[in-house]
Each structure stands twice: as C-alpha cells, then as structure tokens.
Amino acid sequence: MVENAIEITGLRKTYAATKRSEAKEALKGVDLAIPKGSIFGLLGPNGAGKSTMINILAGLVVKTAGNVKIWGFDQDVNPRQSRAAIGVMPQELNLDPFFTPRSSLDVQAGLYGVPKSQRRTEEILEMIGLSDKGEAYARALSGGMRRRLLLGKALVHDPQILVLDEPTAGVDIELRQMLWRNVRKLNEQGKTIILTTHYLEEAEEMCDEIAIINHGELLIRDTTRNLVSRIDSKTLVIEPVSPPAGTLSLPEGVEMETRAGGRLAFRYARTKVKPGDILAKLREAGVEIADVSIEEPDLEDVFLDLTRSAA
Ligand SMILES: Nc1ncnc2c1ncn2[C@@H]1O[C@H](COP(=O)(O)OP(=O)(O)OP(=O)(O)O)[C@@H](O)[C@H]1O
C-alpha cells in the first residue's frame, strides 16, 4: 500500500530563456512527500516556485528533471492514471464565458473520460451552492461563484488528491468559510488536500503539515505544530496605568517596544527568560500594571525567520 499521495524527488524546472528574459531556474531539485489523507500547505513568498510545482503535478508544465509519483503512479510511466488521481483548482478564473456551470462541469467530466452514467453534475452543483445557477452563463456569475465553479470542475473525476492554488486570495469571508467547510468535508471523506496560501493564519488553522519553499528550494517540511514551536521568542504585553518614568532596566536580551495606547511589548527568548523576571523588573521600577497578556509565536514568525535567513 502506498503511504504517500505525492512523492517528488529531485524535481527541477528551468524555464528557457526568451528574447526578453534570461533562463529561470524555478525549482532546484526538490524532494517532497505528501502523506495520504493530509491537508498539506505549500507556502513560500512570491516567485518561490509554488505554482510551478503545482502545474507540474497537474501535468500543465513539463519538468526539466526529477521524478513525480501521484497516488503511486509515475507521471512519466503512467501519465493517464497519475492525471486521474489529481484535481486542481487554479488561481486564475479561466472559465469559458459562454458555458453554463452545468455544461462546464459536463464538458470537464467528458475531458476526463467520465461516462455519463457516472457523472455527478447535480451533486457537485449542490455542493458548491450553484444549483440555482446551473443554466446561467459563466460571464453572469460573480467572482465568488466562478471560484466555486472552479472547485467543482476540479472534482468532476472524483480525484483522490485535490490541489487548491491560492483558493481564498481576494475572496470575502463568507466564501472563504464556505470553501474551508467544503475542504474539511472532502478531507473527512478521504481526499488528500494540498493548498497554497499567502494567509499564514489560514495555513496554521487548516494544515496538518507544511512545506516552505523559497527560491526554488525546500526550506523546511514539518507538522504545523512543530514549526510553530521552533520559534523561541514570546512577547509579554502590558498595559501600564501610567507611562514608566525613565528607562527600565530589563533582563538581558529582552527587547522593548511601545505599542498603540501606551502598551509595552517585551520580546524574550522563552528558553532564557521567564515572564516573571520581566514583571519583577517592572515592579522594581514602580510601574503599575492594568493588564497583561502573552503573545505566542505563530506561523508568520516561522516564515519570516526562515525566509529572511535564506534570502
Ligand atoms: N512561464 C514562465 N516562463 C519563465 N519564467 C517563469 C514562468 N513561470 C514562472 N516563472 C518564474 O519562475 C519563478 C517561480 O515562479 P512561480 O510562479 O512558480 O512562483 P510562485 O511561488 O507560485 O509565486 P506566486 O506566489 O507569485 O504565484 C519566478 O521567478 C517566475 O518569474
């Protein structure tokens, strides 16, 4: 039994030089395994190589070197089976304006060779909340509806793996929540989900595991929890009754920052300093405290830490 939904080894992609641009090495030998059944986040700054990787998985971009296995099928040996195992919801709203949602889904199913008797057009329309828009022209759909239709199109052949490329970029909260509800449901039904997102909070909330890529290289891959616990810093935030008089003497390595409303934030290494040490110093200085809280590191800190040091 194959354990991994995706196995990538030594994946390279160099876009050829054109008259206007030099050759670009977008992926520089990436190894990555994505376990079956997970919700896996692929993160990285703009231009890191995420779309290139996803497009290679989807069979839309031809790799330069390396090996890609999808649901156990080598992309080069079994292109049909590997393509059938994956559905991609792309970033761009590339819909034919003259197709209705119902015919869009039907045509897509036809492209994947799904026999008429096995098509789930109505079920998918229902799931993406477009049952009442089945006969509307795509050009008459709102941006959010088009995005939902793209999700539907990625599902027509009932793939084991669903890839979502920046699914919530620029969408409103309601649609985002609907998308995530659907994603969770599909995951519970056994689908492996791979998503790229710029919203780190979202990745932290949704993904079991995360890979961060930068400049075409894999920087790290770990469970979301482990990644967040790598960051040693925490921040103690206090609201003083009145601003401290004079400079404060703080434990070594603690950095202070003044925030809105006169709040003071103290960033410290949790393995070296205890928040009580900071509070003791404040008390010594006669600072009266109205409120206190501690901010835990989040994925954004991890991301900045890793991409900064590798820049
Ligand atoms: N068709 C192409 N021809 C030439 N260079 C390309 C092409 N597509 C992407 N690139 C380059 O390859 C690099 C990786 O791009 P890619 O789109 O994979 O990054 P990304 O991580 O998806 O970024 P974003 O978050 O902005 O979508 C970038 O430097 C980009 O300019």
Q: How many domains does the chain have?
A: 2
pLDDT of residue 87: 96
- Could you tell me if 254 and 147 lie in one domain? no
- Could you tell me if 206 and 245 lie in one domain? no
pLDDT of residue 1: 61
Give pLDDT tens digits for 101-127.
999 999 999 999 999 999 999 999 999
Mutate to test the pocket of ligand 1, among 11, 24, 55 (most ligand atoms within 8 A of CB): 24
Compute the distance from residue 75 Cα to the ligand 1 centre, in Å: 22
Residue having the nearest C-alpha atom to atom 24 of ligand 1 = 46
Q: In angstroms, rounded to a whole number, what is the distance separating the alpha carbons of residues 5 and 153?
A: 20
Torsion angles phi and psi, residue 150, rounded to 5: -65, -35
What's the CATH number where 56 sits?
A: 3.40.50.300
- Could you tell me if 38 and 143 lie in one domain? yes
Identify the domain boundary among 228, 251, 270. Answer: 228
Residue having the nearest C-alpha atom to atom 11 of ligand 1 = 26
Residues in Cβ contact with 143 at an 8 Å cutoff, skipping those fewer than 6 apart: 93, 170, 171
Q: Which amino acid is at 196?
A: T
Residue having the nearest C-alpha atom to atom 18 of ligand 1 = 49
Compute the distance from residue 47 Cα to the ligand 1 centre, in Å: 5
- Could you tell me if 86 and 130 lie in one domain? yes
DSSP string, 272-309: T--HHHHHHHHHHTT--EEEEEEEPP-HHHHHHHHHHH
- Could you tell me if 239 and 193 lie in one domain? no
Q: In angstroms, rounded to a whole number, what is the distance separating the alpha carbons of residues 178 and 128?
A: 9
Compute the distance from residue 49 Cα to the ligand 1 centre, in Å: 6
Is-contact 194 162, C-beta < 8 A? yes
Start-end of H helices in the chain: 50-57, 79-84, 101-111, 121-127, 143-155, 173-188, 200-206, 224-229, 275-284, 299-309
Ligand 1 — pocket residues by CB below 6 A?
A: 15, 24, 26, 44, 46-52
Mutate to test the pocket of ligand 1, among 19, 22, 42, 52 (most ligand atoms within 8 A of CB): 52
**pLDDT: is 202 or 22 the higher one?**
22
Identify the domain boundary among 228, 252, 267. Answer: 228
pLDDT of residue 204: 83
- Could you tell me if 119 and 254 lie in one domain? no
DSSP string, 223-248: EHHHHHHT--EEEEEEEESSPPSSPP
Cα–chain center distance at 86 = 17
Q: In angstroms, rounded to a whole number, what is the distance separating the alpha carbons of residues 311 and 304?
A: 10
pLDDT of residue 13: 98
- Could you tell me if 264 and 207 lie in one domain? no
Instruction: List the domain range (segments joined by +) for residue 83.
Output: 4-228
Compute the distance from residue 135 Cα to the ligand 1 centre, in Å: 36
Residue having the nearest C-alpha atom to atom 26 of ligand 1 = 46
- Could you tell me if 118 and 260 lie in one domain? no
Residue having the nearest C-alpha atom to atom 12 of ligand 1 = 26
pLDDT of residue 56: 95
- Could you tell me if 133 and 218 lie in one domain? yes
**pLDDT: is 301 or 146 the higher one?**
146
Residue 311: pLDDT band (50, 70, 90) is: low
- Could you tell me if 61 and 195 lie in one domain? yes
Q: In angstroms, rounded to a whole number, what is the distance separating the alpha carbons of residues 285 and 18?
A: 65
Give pLDDT tens digits for 250-283.
999 999 999 999 999 999 988 889 999 999 999 9
Give pLDDT tens digits for 137-175.
877 888 888 889 999 999 999 999 999 998 887 778 888
- Could you tell me if 54 and 164 lie in one domain? yes
Mutate to test the pocket of ligand 1, among 12, 13, 14, 15 (most ligand atoms within 8 A of CB): 15
- Could you tell me if 114 and 255 lie in one domain? no
Both tokens of 228, joined, read: 């967040």
Is-contact 49 196, C-beta < 8 A? no
Give pLDDT tens digits for 79-108.
999 999 999 998 887 788 788 999 999 999
Tell if the pTM clears 0.95, that is, is over it.
no
Identify the domain boundary among 189, 208, 228. Answer: 228
How large is the ipTM? 0.96
Reduce the DSSP state of residue 258 to 3 states and report it.
Answer: strand
